[in-house]
């Protein structure tokens, strides 16, 4: 038996609260990481999609002949070829796999083709002759509401509806349609298994829900379809819905060959759902001291042609319509309209972003009406632990450090005026439009609140398995790494819980493990992290019990100074532990929208500093500083990465990111015209992580992915208002909104 001589001292490196190197970081930087776009298989065909050029039309006929006549074309499939359920959908299966009698949005898939190479497939898609009879596209969500064409209505009434305040501010607000614009476009490879089943490797945030939908539409047994996690170049909500998944599997089974498809950039803009555009009407009433007495809101979002997650996004928008503030009396009415616009669904912030832009503008207006400091007004009304949610009445039981967030923002020093010595410091940048004397500085604040995890009574769980191997430990999971750092943090959790240093994370397919749920709702660190922690703790205890040990490390099991079992012997014993982790249960809303709707909450605040060329309406976002409620930062560098990226996405919505629509057609589906912020548009960021124990996440961690995007847009808008003196009730704020009357 060995003794403690030579034993490594202390805990392994790369445990929680460290920021170890990401295992996927170097391969991604070197271009060696395999993304879904890079997948290949022997004998592989390429697929392409025939899409509707109309926002609404009757499909009169489809002639596949010209496409099939092209050499190298192997298959051309339409709605008639869908073997199982004709429709799919995340919450309601209302969207045709391929359009039948009618197309309902511009870019809706009508047919798919497979050919020897990408170019031939695209030529074949173009050669399919579809005759349409164009119908009137219904693109106005208010008219849809009048016609009762809605996915969901939600009314919230809380408190005495007769209460009124003496100070009243009202406003109407609008949020344009933002796109997730992940740099990796939709891509995938389906491989037939030769026995009627298929293996699917495709861009996804949620392989189990893809698998269920493929099974249904292909009319197969669940065990015949295996959906595999693969390399994802960004998601932000765009990969929750099925797009090319069923098409690829249909073509693979039809041709008997592996089939690959990669959306081009423009196709990606039509091939995934977008952030809902929103129209918001608000009335805030307070007493003379600024205490909110009543908040009324009307929330309209346009869900487009098919359901996707519109019901849940609308609910979120309504539940968070007041923000992190107390109010005794609340009335919210929400509508998720059905139109012939492109379907909208999940995007980072999930409904909380749109209302935040409006309620924070309202809070600034109220502060102005009261002649109060805007942060003092927010602090006076700050929602905290033990308070009922102003909308649902749910008592907040986990830590909600709203006041600490406000005070942290207050305490952060403001930056010096810019030297403006270089054009990169000025609005207009390299365009050389602006001299320092054209610039006015503005500062704006905003706070945002959102739920973590799935809500409204959904059975939200994640399964993870931890196994011991000769090399250390392995986590098995079907949770998707989209770039956010899940593989890093799961390994950190295992190192902390087991006390060993060598840990790998293996993504396994849907046949090998139960669902981890979606990589969305800021939930994977809490849910899959929770499952991984519990599995690790149980596994360690079982090992120690079996060998009557006291400690576990890379060498094996120790009792006092004695190594009772070496790692190599231990690893032969086939140790594994599988855990399904659930967060506290939630309920659906009652008839007044009341209930224990959410599992956890997070609050964040942003302070934006902008320099505005008011005559030309050009904006330079100088800084966006933040304080964010993170529970416990398991990987501080990853948390800051989420914060900086999330803020940049919020800045994008504030000043440039919008899909411009006309009669249901997207006018700018390219990176030439859908503008994402460049590094010259990126503000400096100082982030304060507010850590409070008490959340049910592993070690008290909260999800951190969405809060950075929620109030950063509102803060930038407030800062531009302060600089320009304009009301600016719409984002993105365009140059003409600032420069013209």
Partner 1 sequence: MEIVHPNSIDEALAGLGDGAIPLAGGTDLMVEVNFGHIRPERVIGLRRLAELKEWDGQRIGAGVTWRRIETHGPKALAEAARTVGSPQIRNAGTIGGNLGTASPAGDGHPFLAAVGASIELASTASQRTLTWQEFFTGVKETARRPDELIMAVHLPAGLPERQCFGKIGIRNAMVIATVCAVVTRADDGKTTVALGSVAPTPIRATGAENMISSIGHPSAGDLVEFQRLVSEEVRPITDHRSTEEYRRHGAGVLARRLLERCLS
Chain residues binding partner 1 by CB under 8 A are: 122, 126, 264, 266, 424, 427-435, 438, 615-618, 620, 655-656, 660, 662, 667-668, 670, 672-673, 675, 677-678, 680-681, 734-736, 739-740
Distance CA 592, CA 158 (A): 7
Question: Which CB, 424 or 566, lies closer to partner 1?
Answer: 424
Are residues 14 and 20 in contact, defined by beta-carbon separation less than 8 angstroms?
yes
Question: Which CB, 170 or 615, lies closer to partner 1?
Answer: 615
Question: Which CB, 429 or 700, lies closer to partner 1?
Answer: 429
* 88-to-197, 212, 242, 289 alpha-carbon distances in Å: 19, 10, 8, 52
Phi then psi dihedrals of residue 257, to 5 deg? -130, 155
Its sign, for the CA torsion 691, 696, 701, 706, is negative
Written as one string, the DSSP assignment of 144-187 is HHHTT-EEEEEEEEES-TT---SEEEEEEEEE-------SSPPE
DSSP state of 419: -
Q: Which residues of 84-113 are buried (b: 16+ CB within 10 A; e: fewer)?
A: eebbbbbeebebbbbbeeebbbbbbbbbbb
Shortest separation between residue 626's beta carbon and partner 1, angstroms: 22
Question: Which CB, 184 or 428, lies closer to partner 1?
Answer: 428
Question: Which CB, 309 or 434, lies closer to partner 1?
Answer: 434
Shortest separation between residue 728's beta carbon and partner 1, angstroms: 15
Distance CA 680, CA 660 (A): 23
Question: In what side-by-side order are the strands of the sheet with 618-631?
Answer: 439-452, 600-613, 618-631, 687-691
Opening angle at CA 296, ends 291 and 297, nearest 5: 130
Shortest separation between residue 662's beta carbon and partner 1, angstroms: 8
Shortest separation between residue 645's beta carbon and partner 1, angstroms: 18
Residues in Cβ contact with 388 at an 8 Å cutoff, skipping those fewer than 6 apart: 158, 394, 395, 396
Question: Which CB, 592 or 668, lies closer to partner 1?
Answer: 668
Shortest separation between residue 24's beta carbon and partner 1, angstroms: 25
Question: Which CB, 184 or 530, lies closer to partner 1?
Answer: 184
Shortest separation between residue 707's beta carbon and partner 1, angstroms: 25
Question: Which CB, 61 or 672, lies closer to partner 1?
Answer: 672
Distance CA 307, CA 95 (A): 8
Are residues 627 and 405 in contact, defined by beta-carbon separation less than 8 angstroms?
yes
Shortest separation between residue 708's beta carbon and partner 1, angstroms: 21
Shortest separation between residue 727's beta carbon and partner 1, angstroms: 18
Question: Which CB, 215 or 618, lies closer to partner 1?
Answer: 618
Please give the helix or strand (H or E) that residue 645 lies within, else none: helix 636-655
Question: Which CB, 195 or 678, lies closer to partner 1?
Answer: 678
Structure tokens at 596: 């224990």
- Region for residue 677 given its phi and psi (left: phi exceeds 0; alpha: psi -120 to 50; beta: otherwise): beta
Pick the closest to residue 309 from 272, 261, 270, 258 (CA basis): 272
**Across the strands, what pairs with 603?**
449
Question: Which CB, 92 or 438, lies closer to partner 1?
Answer: 438
Question: Which CB, 266 or 469, lies closer to partner 1?
Answer: 266
Shortest separation between residue 417's beta carbon and partner 1, angstroms: 18
Question: Which CB, 372 or 739, lies closer to partner 1?
Answer: 739
Question: Which CB, 481 or 657, lies closer to partner 1?
Answer: 657
Do the strands 95-96 and 102-103 form a parallel or antiparallel pair, or are they unpaired? unpaired
Distance CA 180, CA 255 (A): 33
Written as one string, the DSSP assignment of 715-726 is HHHHHHHHHH--
Pick the closest to residue 489 from 540, 541, 535, 530 (CA basis): 530
Are residues 365 and 285 in contact, defined by beta-carbon separation less than 8 angstroms?
no
Shortest separation between residue 117's beta carbon and partner 1, angstroms: 13
- Residue 432 class from Cβ within 10 Å (0-12 exposed, 13-18 middle, 19+ buried)? exposed
Shortest separation between residue 735's beta carbon and partner 1, angstroms: 6
Shortest separation between residue 419's beta carbon and partner 1, angstroms: 17
Q: Which residues of 172-204 are buried (b: 16+ CB within 10 A; e: fewer)?
A: ebebbbbbbbbebbbbbbbbbeeeebbbbbbbb
Do the strands 167-175 and 225-228 form a parallel or antiparallel pair, or are they unpaired? unpaired
Question: Which CB, 29 or 411, lies closer to partner 1?
Answer: 29
Please give the helix or strand (H or E) that residue 407 lies within, else none: helix 402-411
Question: Which CB, 9 or 29, lies closer to partner 1?
Answer: 29
Pick the closest to residue 477 from 488, 466, 485 (CA basis): 466
Pick the closest to residue 393 from 332, 447, 471 (CA basis): 332
Shortest separation between residue 183's beta carbon and partner 1, angstroms: 15
Question: Which CB, 318 or 656, lies closer to partner 1?
Answer: 656
Do the strands 461-469 and 576-582 form a parallel or antiparallel pair, or are they unpaired? antiparallel
Distance CA 121, CA 98 (A): 17
Written as one string, the DSSP assignment of 690-703 is EE-S--SSGGG---
Peptide bond into 143 cis (omega under 30): no
Distance CA 613, CA 723 (A): 9
Question: Which CB, 269 or 319, lies closer to partner 1?
Answer: 269
């Amino acid at each position: 038996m060995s003794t403690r001589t030579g034993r490594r001292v202390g805990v392994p490196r790369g445990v929680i609260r460290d920021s170890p190197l990401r295992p996927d970081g170097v391969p991604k930087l070197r271009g060696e990481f395999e993304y879904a776009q890079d997948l290949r298989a022997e004998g592989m065909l390429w697929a392409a999609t025939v899409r509707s050029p109309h926002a609404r039309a009757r499909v009169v006929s489809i002639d596949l002949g010209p496409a099939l006549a092209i050499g190298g074309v192997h298959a051309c499939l339409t709605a008639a070829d869908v073997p199982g359920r004709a429709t799919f959908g995340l919450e309601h299966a209302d969207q045709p796999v391929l359009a039948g009698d009618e197309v309902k949005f511009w870019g809706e898939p009508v047919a798919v083709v497979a050919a020897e190479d990408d170019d031939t497939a695209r030529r074949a898609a173009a050669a399919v002759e579809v005759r349409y009879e164009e119908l009137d596209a219904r693109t106005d969500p208010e008219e849809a509401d009048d016609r009762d064409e809605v996915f969901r209505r939600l009314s919230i009434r809380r408190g005495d509806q007769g209460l009124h305040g003496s100070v009243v501010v009202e406003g109407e607000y609008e949020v344009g349609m933002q796109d997730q614009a992940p740099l990796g476009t939709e891509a995938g490879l389906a491989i037939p298994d030769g026995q009627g089943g298929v293996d699917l490797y495709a861009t996804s945030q949620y392989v189990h829900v893809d698998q269920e939908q493929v099974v249904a539409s292909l009319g197969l047994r669940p065990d015949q379809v295996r959906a595999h996690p693969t390399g994802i170049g960004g998601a932000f909500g765009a990969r929750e819905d099925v797009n090319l998944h069923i098409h690829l599997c249909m073509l693979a089974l039809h041709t008997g060959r592996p089939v690959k498809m990669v959306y081009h950039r423009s196709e990606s803009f039509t091939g995934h759902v977008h952030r809902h555009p929103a129209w918001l009407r608000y009335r805030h009433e307070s007493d003379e001291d600024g205490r909110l007495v009543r908040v009324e809101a009307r929330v309209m979002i346009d869900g487009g042609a098919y359901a996707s997650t519109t019901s849940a996004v609308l609910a979120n928008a309504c539940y968070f319509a007041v923000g992190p503030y107390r109010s005794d009396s609340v009335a919210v009415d929400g509508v998720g309209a059905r139109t012939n616009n492109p379907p909208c669904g999940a995007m980072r912030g999930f409904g909380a972003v749109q209302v935040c832009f409006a309620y924070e503008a309202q809070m600034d207006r109220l502060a102005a009406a009261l002649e109060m400091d805007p942060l003092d007004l927010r602090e006076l009304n700050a929602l905290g632990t033990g308070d009922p949610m102003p909308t649902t009445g749910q008592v907040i039981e986990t830590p909600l450090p709203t006041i600490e967030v406000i005070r942290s923002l207050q305490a952060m020093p403001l930056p010096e005026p810019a030297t403006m010595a270089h054009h990169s410091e000025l609005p207009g940048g390299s365009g050389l439009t602006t001299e320092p004397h054209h610039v006015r500085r503005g500062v704006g604040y905003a706070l945002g609140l959102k739920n973590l995890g799935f809500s409204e009574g959904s059975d939200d769980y994640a399964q993870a398995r931890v196994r011991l191997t000769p090399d250390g430990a392995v986590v098995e999971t079907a949770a998707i790494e989209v770039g956010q750092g899940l593989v890093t943090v799961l390994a950190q959790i295992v190192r902390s819980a087991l006390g060993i240093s060598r840990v790998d994370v293996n993504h396994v397919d849907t046949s090998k493990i139960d669902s981890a749920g979606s990589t969305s709702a800021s939930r994977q660190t809490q849910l899959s992290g929770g499952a991984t922690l519990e599995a690790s703790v149980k596994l360690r205890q079982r090992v120690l019990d079996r060998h009557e040990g006291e400690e576990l490390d890379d060498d094996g099991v120790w009792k006092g100074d004695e190594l009772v079992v070496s790692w190599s012997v231990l690893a032969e014993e086939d140790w594994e532990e599988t855990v399904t982790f659930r967060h506290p249960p939630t309920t659906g809303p009652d008839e007044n929208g009341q209930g224990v709707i959410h599992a956890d909450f997070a609050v964040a605040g942003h302070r934006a500093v902008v320099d505005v060329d008011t005559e030309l309406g050009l904006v330079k976002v100088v800084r966006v500083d933040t304080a964010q409620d993170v529970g416990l930062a398991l990987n501080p560098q990853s948390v800051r990465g989420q914060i900086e990226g999330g803020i940049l996405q919020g800045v994008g919505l504030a000043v440039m990111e919008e899909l411009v629509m006309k009669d249901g057609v997207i006018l700018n589906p390219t990176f030439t015209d859908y503008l994402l912020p460049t590094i010259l548009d990126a503000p400096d960021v100082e982030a304060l992580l507010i850590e409070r124990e008490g959340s049910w996440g592993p070690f008290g961690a909260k999800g951190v992915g969405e809060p950075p995007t929620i109030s950063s847009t509102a803060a930038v808008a407030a800062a531009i208002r302060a600089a320009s003196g304009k009301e600016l009730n719409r984002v993105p704020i365009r140059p003409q909104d600032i420069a013209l009357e």
